[in-house]
Amino acid sequence: MFKDITSFIAELDRRKELARVAEPLSPALEISAVIDRVSKSPGGGPALLFERPAGSDIPVAANLYGSMSRICLALGVGDLNELSHEIEELTTPPMPKGFMDALKLMPLVNRLTDLLPKTVKDAPCQEVVSIDAGLDSLPILKTWPDDGGPYITLPLVVTRDPETGMRNIGVYRMQVFDRRTTGMHWQQHKGGAQHYRVAERLGKRLEVAVALGADPVLTYCATAPMPEGLDELMLAGVIGKERVELVKCRTIDLDVPASAQIVLEGYVEPGERRREGPFGDHTGFYSSPADFPVFHLTCITRRAKPVYVTTVVGIPPMEDFYLGKASERVFLPLIRKTLPEIVDMHFPAAGIFHNLVLVSIDKRYPGHARKIMSAFWGLGQLMFSKCIVVVDKDVNVQDEAEVAWITGTHVDPSRDIAIVTGPVDDLDEAAVAPAFGGKMGIDATRKWPAEGYTGTWPGRLVTTPAAAARADAVWRALSGKSSS
């Protein structure tokens, strides 16, 4: 696994998956326009290293995870389905049938020790420590023309619950207000916001550490929708197959990933809010300005020669689609622990994760599709699922055209649509009220008599095996002729 971003970038370079941009480009709009253009090329384009951002001697890396091959490389798998298999194996250990058999489980037990991070004394991220450095020393991008300012778009924001001490790491954008303060855009449903809620109730300052350019596994894990109270570092230990190394911050009482390129140390005060936004968001539209807590910088620590790692969100597909795809594969086996009837699920890029969720199930009883919808609406960040389409297990949900075809042919809207109201994504500007609105489920499974269906469900068109074999032979002959 890659110990840091520097070694990941070197490997991308070796594999010819890195494009170096030597042209001096402005962090205000120019660099992000290139990133957007490249992300839209087939397969997501190459990773990018801007060697000469105007006004800074720190290079800017972007689109590092923005392709199937790079997200796989980052997470140490050949195919994202391997992640599902690994997690399935780890969470379903076989029952040993005796002592010798139990010994065979040792490798599994060893892997459990990777769950706990360890603290180191010397860390690359603290080669340079500056108490009075400002954010103006970093090439932070302004990504879209009407943005409220420059934004740190891929920060790993570390906090601790002031009461329980539980750690959380999440990616929440930070708008630069001036060289020592930023916005802290943790939405109300997220882990960081919960810690802040507790701090405000206690009337206490909440310390915050922000890691920029942490190693690839950790970066992904910070975006993962871990259940509240479960440390993202545990997931990083599982996927990275080694303990995450942490180092103590210099001005606050928090630990940060030792592998980071740059660390921002600071705090948010209870009761303080400031207008944040607008921001060109991953919805493909500008998010409206709103009030969010304020991050005060106390110290910047960094490598002697750091790289500034960033991402640009915008009209899909962008880099975040691949991070989301990894979560889809990581959480599938975990969701199946309580919903074993789920066969597969898919979040199309155009649905920006939660706007469109396609699920296939092994239907066992009347109303089963609706049970799955209710379960999703009650399960962590899946509560944001705006439209859930449930199909039978013989439908391949990874094939969006197949799902559209099946939905069109299997649904009577007067019978098969469920509408509910509840919490919706903070970024949903169409909702009836902020963070509150409607959600729709479409039952596109074959309906049963027990569900009131009185007809005979029509059979799917398939020819006989004999005719198919004849067709194969004829087709081979035909294509042989045309190619010679």
Ligand X SMILES: Cc1cc2nc3c(=O)[nH]c(=O)nc-3n(C[C@H](O)[C@H](O)[C@H](O)COP(=O)(O)O)c2cc1C
Binding residues (CB under 6 A) for ligand X: these are: 153-154, 168, 170-173, 185-187, 190-192, 223-226, 311, 313, 320, 323, 381
d(CA 481, CA 50): 50
Q: Smallest gap, in angstroms, from Cβ of residue 234 to Mn ion?
A: 11
Q: Smallest gap, in angstroms, from Cβ of residue 298 to ligand X?
A: 22
- Give the residue with the Cβ less far from ligand X, 276 or 443: 276
CB nearer Mn ion, residue 6 or residue 168: 168
Q: Is 281 a catalytic residue?
A: yes
Which of 117/170 has CB closer to ligand X? 170
- 32 or 159: CB nearest Mn ion: 159
* Smallest separation, CB 161 to ligand X (Å): 11
The answer to whether 221 and 171 are in contact (CB under 8 A) is no
Alpha-carbon distances, residue 314 vs 44, 140, 157, 360, 427 (angstroms): 13, 17, 21, 29, 13
Pick 8 or 186: Cβ nearer ligand X: 186
Which is nearest to 225 in space by CA: 345, 334, 90?
A: 334
Residue number with the smallest Cβ distance to Mn ion: 191
- Considering only the stretches 145-153, 164-172, 384-392, 413-421, report the one whose residues sit in contact with Mn ion under the rule CB under 5 A: 164-172
| 136: its two tokens | 């103006």
| Separation CA 302–CA 310 (nearest Å) | 16
Pick one of Mn ion, ligand X, none as the site partner of residue 39 (Cβ within 5 to 8 A by kind): none
Quick one: what does residue 320 bind among ligand X, Mn ion, none, with the CB cut-off 5 to 8 Å set by partner type? ligand X
Residue 232 Cβ vs Mn ion, minimum distance, rounded to whole Å: 6
Q: Which amino acid is at 127?
A: E
344 has which bridge partners? 360
Q: Binding to Mn ion (CB under 5 A): which residues in 174-193?
A: 191
Q: Which residue number, 168 or 261, has a Cβ lying nearer to Mn ion?
A: 168
Distance of closest approach, residue 230 Cβ to Mn ion, in angstroms: 7
Interface with Mn ion (CB under 5 A), residue from 6, 32, 84, 168: 168
Beta strand 60-62 with 308-310: parallel, antiparallel or unpaired? parallel
Q: Which does 171 bind (CB under 5 to 8 A by kind): ligand X, Mn ion, none?
A: ligand X
Q: Quick one: what does residue 66 bind among ligand X, Mn ion, none, with the CB cut-off 5 to 8 Å set by partner type?
A: none
DSSP letters spanning 352-369: TTTT-EEEEE---STTHH
Residue 314: CB minimum distance to ligand X, A: 11
418, 441 Cβ separation under 8 angstroms? yes
Question: What's 120-146 look like in SS3?
Answer: CCCCHHHCEEECCCCHHHCCCCECCCC
- The alpha carbon torsion through 64, 232, 278, 143 (nearest 10 deg) reads -10
Query: What is the C-alpha separation between 322 and 69, in angstroms, rounded?
Result: 10
**What are 100's two structure tokens?**
């010798």
Q: Choosing among Mn ion, ligand X, none, which partner's interface includes residue 53 (Cβ < 5 to 8 Å by kind)?
A: none
Is 330 a residue that touches Mn ion (CB under 5 A)? no
- Contact status, residue 210 vs residue 263, Cβ threshold 8 Å: yes
Exactly one of 281, 320, 428, 443 is catalytic; which is it?
Answer: 281
Check residue 226 for interaction with Mn ion (CB under 5 A): yes
Identify residue 322 by its one-letter amino acid code.
Y
Beta bridge partners of 65: none
Question: Which of 359, 355, 413, 362 has the alpha carbon at shortest distance from 389?
Answer: 359
Name the amino acid, one letter, at 408: G
Closest approach of Cβ 187 to ligand X, in Å? 3
- Contact window for Mn ion (CB under 5 A) among 106-114, 142-150, 162-170, 173-181: 162-170
Which residues, 6 or more positions from 387, have their beta carbon under 8 angstroms from its beta carbon? 351, 355, 356, 357, 439, 440, 441, 442
Does position 235 bind Mn ion by CB under 5 A?
Answer: no
Q: Is the Cβ–Cβ distance between 291 and 185 less than 8 Å?
A: no
Stretch of 168-176, 383-391, 445-453, 462-470 contacting Mn ion, by CB under 5 A: 168-176
Q: Is 282 or 368 the residue whose CB approaches ligand X more closely?
A: 282
Binding site residues, Mn ion, CB under 5 A:
168, 191, 226
Query: Active-site residue numbers?
Result: 281
